[in-house]
């Protein structure tokens, strides 16, 4: 089974309910799209992430009512360095979509989506703990896996595998 080349044209992918809804609402929030290995990724302007999530959750045709996963990827040393990744699932329509927002390495800050899905609470704390990305509007942004006095954020690429000596 050979891999099909990814599709990156917005027009070719508008049949997907998530992208269709976003383009209908405000096409300017969509920075880029990619359809690769049967999965759709949409890059979102980072200022609008909470609104986009709320729009997708309340979409009538295909409500993405479930936040399956929230994580981050560090692309150090390139800029923008961080990509916050949201995996959404629509339980009634059985559709999935991946949203991404790019953040600068100097001030990785993005709006929290806990007001859209309360389940984002622990995931955002985990990303804050391991990557040092800050979520504004999060009710309780503190370390979750590591001790409170831990130095650094271990999943950053410039953090050595064996830890600092």
Partner 1 sequence: MTQFPTTVAEAGRETTSGERTLVLNMGPQHPSTHGVLRLVLEIDGETVVRLKPVIGYLHTGIEKTCEAKFYQQVVPLTDRIDYLCPMTNNLAYCLAVEKLLGLEIPPKAQWMRVLMNELTRINSHLVWLGTHAMDLGAFTVFLYCFREREDVLRFFEMVSGQRMMTSYFRIGGLALEPPLGFFEKVKKFADRFPGNVDEYEGLLTGNPIFMMRTKGVARLSTEDAIALGACGPTARGSGVDIDLRRDAPYSGYENFKFKVPVRTECDVFARYLCRVEELRESIGMVQQALAGMPEGPIKADAPKVVLPDREKMKTQMEALIHHFKIITEGFAVPAGEVYQAVESPRGEMGYYVVSDGTAKPYRVHMRGPSFANLQTLAKMCEGGLIADVVAAIGSIDVVLGDIDR
Q: Summarize as ranges the residues that interact with partner 1 (CB under 8 A).
A: 1-3, 6, 36-37, 39, 41, 65-69, 71, 73-74, 85, 87, 91, 94, 96, 98, 117-119, 121-122, 130, 139-140, 143-147, 154-155, 159, 161
Pick 28 or 139: Cβ nearer partner 1? 139
Closest to 32 measured CA to CA, from 110, 112, 99 = 99
Residues 13 and 24: their CA atoms lie apart, in Å, by: 13
Q: With H, G, I as helix, E, B as strand and everything else as coil, classify residue 28.
A: helix
Pick 25 or 66: Cβ nearer partner 1? 66
Pick 24 or 90: Cβ nearer partner 1? 90
Q: Is the peptide bond before 77 cis (omega within 30 degrees of 0)?
A: yes
Shortest reach from residue 120's CB to partner 1, in Å: 8
Count other C-beta atoms under 10 Å from residue 142's C-beta.
Answer: 9
Shortest reach from residue 95's CB to partner 1, in Å: 10
Pick 47 or 160: Cβ nearer partner 1? 160
The radius of gyration of the chain's CA atoms, rounded to the nearest angstrom, is: 17
Shortest reach from residue 16's CB to partner 1, in Å: 15
Helical packing angle, 17-26 and 49-58, nearest 10°: 120
């Amino acid at each position: 089974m050979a891999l099909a080349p990814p599709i990156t044209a917005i027009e070719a992918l508008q049949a997907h309910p998530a992208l269709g809804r976003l383009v209908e609402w405000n096409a300017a929030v969509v920075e880029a799209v990619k359809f690769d290995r049967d999965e759709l990724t949409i890059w979102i302007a980072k200022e609008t992430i909470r609104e986009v999530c709320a729009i997708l959750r309340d979409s009538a045709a295909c409500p993405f009512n479930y936040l399956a996963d929230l994580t981050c990827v560090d692309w150090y040393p390139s800029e923008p360095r961080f990509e916050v990744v949201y995996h959404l699932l629509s339980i009634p329509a059985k559709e999935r979509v991946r949203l991404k927002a790019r953040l600068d390495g100097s001030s990785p800050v993005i709006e929290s989506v806990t007001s859209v899905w309360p389940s984002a609470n622990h995931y955002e704390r985990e990303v804050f703990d391991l990557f040092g990305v800050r979520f504004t509007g999060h009710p309780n942004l503190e370390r979750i896996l590591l001790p409170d006095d831990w130095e650094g954020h271990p999943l950053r690429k410039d953090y050595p595998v064996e830890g600092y000596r």
